[in-house]
Amino acid sequence: MITHKQVRRLLAAAFCTVVMTAAPVRVGAAGDTFKQSAELSKRMSKTSEDVDKYVAELDKTEEALSSVSQAQSKDLKKRYESFSKEVINLEVAQKHASADIDQMKSTGTEYFDAWDTSIAEISNPELKQASTERRSKIMKEHDDLAASLSDAGSQLPALMSDLHDLKTFMEADLSTENVGKAGGMIQKSQADSQALRNKIAGVQTMLKQFLSDAPK
């Protein structure tokens, strides 16, 4: 005769067999998508902050350059030193913004790949279609933003090169006469800076819009 203790053991063994052979719960793709969504939002916020910082530093640099061009002999050295300092700060801000843009693009690729995998696991046709359409909308916004950032970013090195040239040229012979000879390049730098600010303004708007629309 089977005892109560033996019955309990048999039931426990049967339960373990059922648990071990049950179909696994599909949580991997959804979990990855959620994680990548949070990471993309974090990268976007960082990019937005550093682009804002770059623009602020660009304004400071051009203001300092304008101050040098209008300086008299007595305050030329002080104004030049201020400009020189801002050029260095601008270069640092540019490197941070550029690195953020690259990381944002990479994170975006990982996010949309994870989302695509998640969609493949949805059985209901209506939910699958809704998620696919939402992914397409968000991905287009991301791609448009990335293209605009790349377009604006492509102009940064040329402007930085002009500012370095001005810094080096004036440093070699810091005089009102030499600054006057750089007048054409100073005007070009200021015009290029304004054009870049106008372009980045559109990118800043797109960044904030994407942060508002993208899944949280």
Q: 2 burial class (0-12, 13-18, 19+ CB within 10 angstroms)?
A: exposed
Residues 139-174 have pLDDT tens digits of 998 899 989 988 888 889 999 999 999 999 999 999
Domain spans of the chain, in order of start: 28-213
How would you classify residue 44: left for phi > 0, otherwise alpha for psi between -120 and 50, otherwise beta? alpha
Q: pLDDT for 65-118, tens place per residue?
A: 999 999 998 999 999 999 999 999 999 999 999 999 899 889 999 999 999 999
pLDDT above 70 covers a percentage of the chain that reads: 85
d(CA 163, CA 176): 18
